[in-house]
Structure formats: C-alpha cells, structure tokens
Amino acid sequence: MRELTCIVCPIGCSLAVEEGQAGADGLSELTVTGNRCNRGPVYAREEIRAPKRVVTATCGIVTDNDEADNGGAAKSAGAGRSLYSPRRVPVRTAVPCPKEKISALLDDIYKTKVKLPVTAGDTIIADWRGSGINIIAARSLV
C-alpha cells in the first residue's frame, strides 16, 4: 500500500493506494481510498503511473552591452548592469513535464539566454525537444 496526499484541491485528502492484479495491458488495477471528491483517484493514478510536475527555473539575460557568441552565451555577463538590474528571468513550463525529463529540461533552460524586454507569458523555448512543452516567462522584465 502506498500513501499519498492529494494536492488537487485545498482539502488535502490522505489517499491510500493499493495495487491489484495485473490486467491484459500489463498494468495493475489501482484501488484508491480516502478521497472526498472524484479528483483524488484521478490524481493518485497519474501520480503513480506517470508523475508530472510544472518546472520553474531561471534563464540568463543578454543585454545590448553583452556580446553573444555563436551559442548565445554571454561573454561579458554583468557588464553594463547596475546593482538593481535583473540578472535572470524567471521561467516555468506551460504544462506539467514528466518527472524523468526534468533534468534534461533544466539543462536546456539554464543554457538559454533571453534578450530583454520580456513580458510574462512570452514563449522562451517553444515545443521543447518536440514534447509539446513550452517554456514561458513567469515575469515581465524591461
């Protein structure tokens, strides 16, 4: 038996998940108890079979004073910036990402440099590696 806390609604039900016999498709039947709404069993099944997370991170900034090399990485990071200038842009995935792909996604996000201005919701990386996952700006910066 596996214990989960449902995060779909504010109630936070304690869910107990038991695996049953494997079916013809090779997946075992899951029995979920402890939920107070119909969303709990759906959450528990997804969390056990194919867990996903919204990923938040930051991208570097390329300014007019920075000289970018062919890879887009700034050579003179911090040149021409004031103490109050932003150094990184907060970003997030527009849809949840499978947990097993998060490490590769973060590697690509941290390599990305963004030219300002950026508006919240702007697509920073479109269709990451053909997965249908867009990386968007989480904040507007000028």
Report the pLDDT value the prediction gives residue 70, as an integer from 0 to 100.
43
**Same domain membership, residue 57 and residue 112:** yes
Q: Please indicate, yes or no, if residue 127 is contained in any of the structural domains.
A: yes
Choose among 95, 138, 94: nearest CA to 118.
Answer: 138
Name the percent of the chain in helix, strand, coil, to the closest 5: 20, 35, 45
- Whether this model's pTM surpasses 0.75: no
Rounded Cα gap, residues 52 and 44, in angstroms: 12
Domain enclosing residue 89, as ranges = 53-137
Q: What is the mean pLDDT of residues 118-134?
A: 96
Same-domain pairing of 70 and 105: yes
pLDDT of residue 75: 43
Amino acid at 68: A
- What band does 84 get if pLDDT is binned at 50, 70 and 90? confident
Instruction: Give the confidence band of 74 by pLDDT, cuts at 50, 70, 90.
Output: very low
pLDDT at 103 over 70: yes
Let me know whether 58 and 124 are in one domain. yes
> 110 with 131, same domain?
yes
Worst-scoring range by mean pLDDT, 14-23, 42-51, 53-62, 87-96?
Answer: 14-23
CA-CA-CA-CA torsion for 62, 83, 57, 68, nearest 10 degrees? 10
pLDDT at 86: 77
Residues 124 and 64 in one domain: yes
Asked whether residue 13 is domain-assigned, the answer is yes
Domain count, the chain: 2
